[in-house]
Structure 1
Amino acid sequence: MTLKVCNPTRRHIIKGLGAATLLSPFCTLPAWAAKSRRLYVDGLSFLPNDINDVKASKLDAFIADISAIETIEQSDGTKNYKRTYKACFNSIQQAAKTVTDNPEVYLQGLTGADIDNARAQQRTAVYFQIQGADCVEADGIVTKGKPSLWPQLDSLHQHGLRVLQLTHHYGNRFAGGALDNNGNQGVNKPLTDAGRELIAALNQKNILIDVSHSSEQTALDTAKASQSPIVLSHGAARHFVNHARCSSDNIIRAVADTGGVFGVFMMSFWLTNNAPPTIEDYIKQIEYVARVGGVDCAAVANDFPLRGQENLLALNNNNSEGVKEYLDWWHSLQSKNVLGFDVVPKHVVIPELNHIDRMSRIDDALKKARFKSSDRDRFMGGNWQRVLKKVLV
């Protein structure tokens, strides 16, 4: 399959992966051997409890959500999950220790070049992400005309934070959330003045900005405000499922125009309304994002643990049973008329992809769908690598 490459004026394409300079006691592969394997990068997962899952996943790198969550009961009866500074600071310290304690498996990703280093050393680069800027809510306060200070952000960055999501589902003082978009009121909150200050600080600190879970206007505003590529690390195209958590063509194009990446995730109720969901439904999402944003935009993400959604695995991927755990939350948003929650989900996972070997299976499915080898290189990891090298310097 041949896809047309869009070429928006703001897109920055980094050509060539370059060779890593290795000064390490770890066993390394010859350069030709490392390059002979297709690069696999996952746009969002979690540090596994079983360290053996890392090798089994075949990943060269992944972005890991290391957030710690506090559940907040909102005034309308729905729940929000905030990542506070205290909780996330403790969590990022624990995550860093996990990586340090397993040097034969992990290399903590601090710059984009660490993907090359990890791959040559037969390790996996892991980049720490927090899903929501609530972790820096006390930062960026302007007083008497003095520049904003970001001590909490500085602290998290020092401990390894390299990707920050602006919000999670609901808005905060920086940004609007996707689920603020009430069907009756048409709420679509923009990036705030504080959010613009945060964008500038993230650009200055070379932290990758993630607009997953943001409202449409926030995502579009962020694309315009950022001087560096932005990503939507895990999401899906609204073309297939008309839902507030899915992204319009405008968002896909806006992310692509910055030189960024849109990661298609594994939550099947946001990938397709068809039942049962299949791997072909996932490939259609990748193809669509590539057609709208260009082949340099589409990528793979997860949003489940490396081995898959645990409860569904325990149920042998029985979606009709597994979906029940989501229904109370779904109905609470349905009662608020949030876009898309009127359609009750029938599934959670694509059984073929709720598996530790999903990356190979996606790669094989792309080949079966007749995608060019060079496009598969991009989708399976090359696009993530390009953006990480551009931003994390």
Structure 2
Amino acid sequence: MTLKVCNPTRRHIIKGLGAATLLSPLYSMPTWAAKPPRLYVDGLSFLPNDINDVKASKLDAFIADISAIETIEQSDGTKNYKRTYQACINSIKQAAKTVNENPEIYLQGLTGADIDKARAQQRTAVYFQIQGADCVEADGISANGNPPLWPQLESLHQQGLRVLQLTHHYGNRFAGGALDNNGKQGLNKPLTTAGHTLITELNKRNMLIDVSHSSEQTALDTAKASQLPIVLSHGAAKRFVNHARCSSDKVIRAVADTGGVFGVFMMSFWLTNNPTPTIEDYIDQLEYVAKIGGVDCVAIANDFPLRGQENLLALNNNNSEGVKEYLDWWHSLQSRNVLGFDVEPKHVVIPEFNHIDRMSRIDDALKKARFKSSDRDRFMGGNWQRVLKKVLI
């Protein structure tokens, strides 16, 4: 863990007040000296149908996936989910409309500083994200030797897109996907030439690059190519579950070396192979990311709605029943020998964290596990805030 650093400003204040004053029964610390509540930032969720969920979540900010998805049946029988430009430009406009119609709850996050602004106004900053660069489908293609143009990316940015994930599960013309990593063929697709150009364009616009769902080589290539911090907004460490969707130590370090963060998410079948998932399994993931990438790399993510995985909630978090909805998809990838799909999942959620109040519960679990207050500050939101302020300017 980190070394404790004394706060010189507070030390000088106390010294000036004098020991006698501090020991006086009539003395109380001034209200301005009280520490504000811990910052809570969620690395990936969705705009809720019930606006009351936002306040109930206690979040100061969250990254919201506003993608619109078209389901594509692939030649091998598996399904991909393509985010077309037209669908996504419509969905981002609708998301902005929802945020703007609820100004007492939301503030659309356009810069990293908007977290502070929202917090001061007791609102929640929402940063729009799309899970897949398919949405810039006609961009970056040059003709007659001219430089490639990026009108779709520019339009999405103007509408408020601030975080772009390179791919979702499967590769595209920019990047390799995690589930392209076929066990028989040993595929691990790199960032393509078009992908390198996309990274440059995202850096120019101060947009945050997300390598969740990317192949290992794409994530490593992106970390080298980007001039700004990158993130893996929602994932888990392969140390615990040897699965294509989980990340190696090399990827965790690469993200950390850019100054970015690695968000550990709530999908329990990628957190542990134990038959019953526990709070300790989640804390073990956070501790391991801190060990590999440093305490400044650790972050919290969700990947479910704010209140939790809806079907599991309806089943009172009965994992043995809830996992059944994932099995057809799981078996389709098992037949292709994709890494990790040979182990059938037994659960979907950690019941205690499949709850609207998960952030407080994670914070309490970290305290119980004897993490220092300064590290809890980082994990629960401080690291996300630092990265968003660095990139979104």
TM-score under structure 2 length normalisation: 0.92
Aligned to 1:75: 75
SS at match of 1:154: helix
Q: Structure 1 residues 151, 316: CA separation in 2 closer, same or farther (over 3 Å shift)?
A: same
Distance in 1 separating the partners of 2:122 and 2:148? 42
Q: Which shows bigger deviation, 144-153 or 334-343?
A: 144-153
Answering whether residue 109 of structure 2 is matched by residue 109 of structure 1, we say: yes
* Cα deviations by residue, 1:181-229 (Å, 9 ceiling, x for unpaired): 0000000000000000000000000100000000000000000000000
Counterpart of 1:131?
A: 131
Query: How does 1:377-388 map onto structure 2 within 5 Å?
Result: 377-388=377-388
Give distance in 2, aligned partners of 1:3 and 1:109. 30
**What whole-Å deviation, never above 9, does each CA across 1:316-369 have from its counterpart, x for those lacking one?**
000000000000000000000000000000000000000000000000000000
**What is aligned with 1:262?**
262
The AA in structure 2 aligned to 1:105 is: I
Which amino acid is the alignment partner of residue 220 of structure 1? L
SS at match of 2:168: coil
Matched residue of 1:36: which SS? coil
Change (3 A) 1:354 1:88: same
Q: Identify the residue that residue 287 of structure 1 maps to in structure 2.
A: 287
Counterpart in the other structure of 2:334? 334
Structure-to-structure mapping, 1:96-175, within 5 angstroms: 96-175=96-175
Q: Structure 2: give runs of 5+ residues left out of the alignment.
A: 5-30
Length, aligned pairs only = 368
Q: Which residue of 2 aligns with 1:61?
A: 61
Check 1:297–1:102 CA distance in 2 against 1; reply closer, same or farther (3 A cut): same
Partners in 2 of 1:247 and 1:136 — Cα distance? 26
1:142 to partner: Cα distance: 1.8
Q: Distance in 2 between matches of 1:289 and 1:82?
A: 30
1:217 counterpart letter in structure 2: Q
State the Cα deviation string for residues 159-198 of structure 1 (Å, max 9, x = none).
1100000000000000000000000000000000000000
Query: Equivalent pairs: percent with the same residue?
Result: 87
CA distance in structure 1 between the aligned counterparts of 2:172 and 2:328, rounded to whole angstroms = 24
1:4 deviates by: 7.7
Find the aligned partners of 1:119 and 1:33 in 2 and give their Cα distance.
18
Query: Residue 3 of structure 1: CA displacement?
Result: 4.6
Deviation (angstroms), 1:147? 1.7
Whose radius of gyration is greater, 1 or 2? 2
Partner of 1:306: 306
Give yes or no for contact 1:4–1:295 (8 Å, CA) kept in 2.
no
Contact 1:3/1:290, CA 8 A, preserved across alignment? no
Partner of 2:206: 206
Q: Distance in 1 between matches of 2:157 and 2:33?
A: 33
> Residues 218 and 197 from structure 1, CA distance in 2 versus in 1: closer, same or farther, beyond 3 angstroms?
same
Q: Closer, same or farther in 2 for the Cα pair 1:273/1:4, shift >3 Å?
A: farther
- 1:41 is aligned to 41
Gap runs ≥5 in structure 1? 6-30
2:363 match: secondary structure: helix
Separation (CA, whole Å) in 1 of partners of 2:34 and 2:202: 32
Alpha-carbon displacement from aligned partner over 1:265-290 (angstroms, at most 9, x marks no partner): 00000000112101110000000001
- Residues of 1 paired with 2:130 and 2:3: CA distance? 34
Specify the alignment match of 2:27 in structure 1: none
TM-score normalised to structure 1 length: 0.92
* Secondary structure, aligned partner of 2:134: helix
Greater relative contact order (Cα 8 A, min sep 6): structure 1 or 2? 1
Asked if the contact 1:308/1:355 (under 8 Å) is kept, the reply is yes
Letter in 2 for 1:210: D
Paired amino acid for 1:321: E
For the residues of structure 2 that align with 1:141 and 1:368, how far apart are their CA atoms?
53
Which amino acid in 2 is paired with 1:315?
A: L
Q: Deviations over 1:6-48 (max 9, x none)?
A: xxxxxxxxxxxxxxxxxxxxxxxxx959951100000000000
Counterpart of 1:121, as a letter, is Q
Moved over 3 A (4+): 31-35
Q: Show CA shifts across 1:278-306 (max 9, x none).
A: 11100000000011000000100000000
Partner residue in 1 for 2:16: none
Question: Would the alpha carbon gap of residues 137 and 124 (structure 1) be closer, same or farther in structure 2, given more than 3 Å must change?
Answer: same
Structure 1 letter corresponding to 2:208? L
Following superposition, the deviation at residue 51 of structure 1 comes to 0.1
Give the superposition deviation at 1:137: 1.5
1:14 corresponds to which residue? Answer: none
2:251 maps to which residue? Answer: 251
Output the amino acid matched with 2:88: C
Whichever residue aligns with residue 377 of structure 1, its letter is D
> How much does 1:143 deviate?
2.0
For 1:158, the aligned partner's letter is Q
Do residues 349 (structure 1) and 349 (structure 2) align?
Answer: yes
RMSD of the TM alignment (CA)? 1.4
Give the Cα–Cα distance (whole angstroms) in 1 for the partners of residues 35 and 257 of structure 2. 28
